[in-house]
Amino acid sequence: MKRIAVSIFFATISLVLAGQGKPNWLDEEFRKMKYPENVFITGFARSDLNDGKTLDDAIQQAKTEAQADLSRKIRVQITSRITTETTAVSADGQYRETESLTGSTTAESDIELVGLNTESYYDPARRMAYAFAVVKRDEVAGFYRRMIHQELNEAENILSIAKEIAAAGKRMNARSKAVEAKIILNGVRSYRYWLAAVDSQPYEGEREKSLQRTVEQLLTDLKQIASVYLDCRYENSGGKDDAFGSDPGILRDIIAQALSENDCSVTENRGEADYELTLVTSTTQRSDGTGQYGVLSYYANVNGSLFNRATGQKVVDFAIFNNPAAYATGRSPEDAATKAFKQPELKEKIMEMVLSKIQ
């Protein structure tokens, strides 16, 4: 997912040293009155100079803990206010919200804040450093809403590109784009959690839900990267090279299974196919079984081509003829040639050329 780089702005007020007066925010009642919870989120912490800490160490620890205290309050509100979330599309295509988020929402990622203000004070008499962190709810909420809008725009643009790529017949590339959009939409959840924790206004998530439905449907449609019409036939050349009298159909079954294993579907309807794969097979006698060793062997040969029906273009031609990786011995011509067509290397060579163009 393309993550937006977000700066956390710490507007730290200058340190108040001894003799300059204690800040009012040290008093809990003052903090409650001056910074009401419905308008602000606050954090407070203290750190002493014991255990060998320097003054700078104590002040920095107090600041860090005050900011952590503020973040913790947001997380507590997240778990208490959000109860359901997970987006999914069921088998019937209907949108569902089913998963309880209790105990899981806080694990999303670090909270991102903008407009955070942190003040610190050191009391030399007590050797104690104090820190106070505060942020306005409406500033944080506005930031989260902007980030949600930005992420949804990006997901929408990527989905549009995915649809265009799919229409051009590049289904695997389209599926990759759809997955990218899904990751972005999943990332929107963090901003939505945080928004719900700081903003009293309900989040209208219809656009997000609509995009979730779209991406899930597109991924379902692109589950198989392509449909292929397979035209496989055997040609006799006459004489001793012909191991079969008719098409044995061996290679067709092998390639059909290999296509299915690589997320392609084999269709019997040429008009519904994304691609047409033509495989013209033949055999060549390699040795006739006479001579000193009496070995009978045959080559399995293939002339192939792949046609993209969406673009109307042939995308690859290939020929595998008398290849040393595609022969076998046998007790009869049929036995030797059958073993040759079943050689794994032959299937791998064909699939390498075909899948590189489909994908």
| Token pair listed for 141 | 């909420």
Residue 224 has a pLDDT of 67
pLDDT per residue of the chain (359 residues) written in tens, 0 to 9: 333 333 344 333 334 444 457 899 999 999 999 999 989 999 999 998 877 788 999 999 999 999 999 988 887 777 665 544 433 333 443 333 333 233 333 334 466 677 889 999 999 988 899 999 999 988 888 888 899 999 999 999 999 999 998 887 677 788 889 999 999 998 888 888 888 878 877 777 899 999 999 999 998 888 767 789 999 999 998 889 999 999 999 999 999 999 988 888 899 999 888 899 999 999 999 999 887 778 999 999 999 999 998 888 999 999 999 999 999 999 999 999 999 999 999 999 999 999 888 86
Architecture of domain 10-137: Roll (3.10)
pTM of the model: 0.54
Q: Does domain 141-221 have CATH number 1.10.10?
A: no
Yes or no: say if 296 and 284 are a contact pair by the CB < 8 Å rule.
Answer: no
Residue-wise pLDDT tens digits, 74-83: 877 776 655 4
Sequence-distant (6+) residues with CB within 8 A of 215 are 155, 159, 178, 181, 182, 185
Phi-psi bin for 279: left (phi > 0), alpha (psi -120 to 50), beta? beta
The 3-state DSSP class for residue 246 equals coil
What topology does CATH give the domain 226-358?
Rossmann fold (3.40.50)
* Domain boundary assignment for the chain: 10-137, 141-221, 226-358
Q: How far apart are CA 2 and CA 264, in angstroms?
A: 29
Residue-wise pLDDT tens digits, 64-73: 999 999 988 8
Q: How far apart are CA 242 and CA 333, in angstroms?
A: 8
Determine how β-strand 10-12 pairs with β-strand 116-123: parallel
Yes or no: say if 311 and 169 are a contact pair by the CB < 8 Å rule.
Answer: yes
Residue-wise pLDDT tens digits, 238-287: 889 999 999 999 999 999 999 988 888 899 999 888 899 999 999 999 99
Burial of 190 (0-12, 13-18, 19+ CB in 10 A): buried
Beta strands in the chain, from DSSP E residues, in sequence order? 10-12, 40-48, 87-89, 95-97, 116-123, 128-136, 226-234, 264-267, 275-288, 296-308, 313-320, 327-329
